[in-house]
Structure formats: C-alpha cells, structure tokens
C-alpha cells in the first residue's frame, strides 16, 4: 500500500524564522509556500530527494497547528506516506479496524488528497496518507 515517505510535517510558530535554519544551516530551499484556509495553516515545501519537509505555521490561534504547538511545542507534527489510491487505502485501513481521523479524503496542500490515521492507532504518531498525481 505505501509507496514512500511523501513528507514530514514540522509545526513551527514562524515559517520565516524556521526556514532560516533549514536554508542557511542545512542548505535546503523553500520551493513554494501555500495557505490551506480550511485547515488554518500556511505550508512551506522544501523538497529533499523523493520527499519533502513541510513547515506548518498556524494562520489562526485556534487552528490545529497552534493547538499542537501549545501542547507539544515546535516539533515534528506528522509523517505522511504516499499511496497510489487513497480511497482503496482508507477502505483497507477500515477493514483492518484502524482508527481514523478522516473516513474520507480531503484536500491537502500541494493539491494532494489526504487523510489522517488517529495517533492512538499508530503508537502516538500522527500518520497521514496522501495521494498525488505524479
């Protein structure tokens, strides 16, 4: 079912401040910054090999990223795995009794279809599955 790690999402208070570390220290480059209004987040994409690091900044004090940072601080917020067909992957997960946050895919950053597995089903890690057109 899993093709590869698509991206790792890192919750940050400020994309501008965080990208200085990733660019100046690690030599990564921000390829694009996008706002996903319905998720109350701004995302900076930094490609690395076949995957990406996504910096996630909340656009609302009540947004999920702001809430995450309030509890856990700035940190890796999720890991995303690429699948060929998200509907088939979700059906397979449901059949296996996996607890899901999203029963149906929703629109994510970069035009991806995404869905989240509940962290209680994945040993405390928020796991995203995503489908992208290559």
Apex 34 CA angle, 28 and 38, nearest 5: 140
pTM for this predicted structure: 0.93
Going by C-alpha positions, the residue among 6, 12, 88 that lies closest to residue 44 is 12
Domain containing residue 44: CATH number: 3.10.180.10
- pLDDT of 1 reads 87
Q: Which domain holds residue 61?
A: 2-131
pLDDT digits (tens, 9 = 90+) for 98-133: 999 999 999 999 899 999 999 999 999 999 999 998
- pLDDT of 60 reads 97
- pLDDT of 9 reads 98
- pLDDT of 33 reads 97
In the chain, the number of structural domains is 1
- pLDDT of 133 reads 85
For the chain, which residues score pLDDT lower than 50? Answer: none
């Amino acid at each position: 079912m899993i093709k590869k790690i698509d991206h790792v999402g890192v919750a940050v208070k400020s994309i501008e401040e965080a990208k200085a570390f990733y660019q100046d220290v690690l030599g990564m480059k921000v390829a694009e910054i996008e706002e996903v209004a319905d998720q109350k987040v701004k995302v900076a994409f930094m490609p690395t090999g076949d995957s990406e690091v996504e910096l996630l900044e909340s656009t609302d004090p009540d947004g999920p990223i702001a809430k995450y940072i309030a509890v856990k601080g700035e940190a890796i917020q999720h890991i995303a795995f690429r699948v060929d067909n998200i509907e088939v992957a979700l059906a397979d997960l449901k059949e296996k009794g996996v607890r899901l946050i999203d029963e149906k895919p929703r629109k994510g950053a970069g035009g991806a279809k995404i869905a989240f597995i509940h962290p209680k089903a994945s040993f405390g890690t928020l796991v995203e599955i995503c489908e992208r057109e290559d």
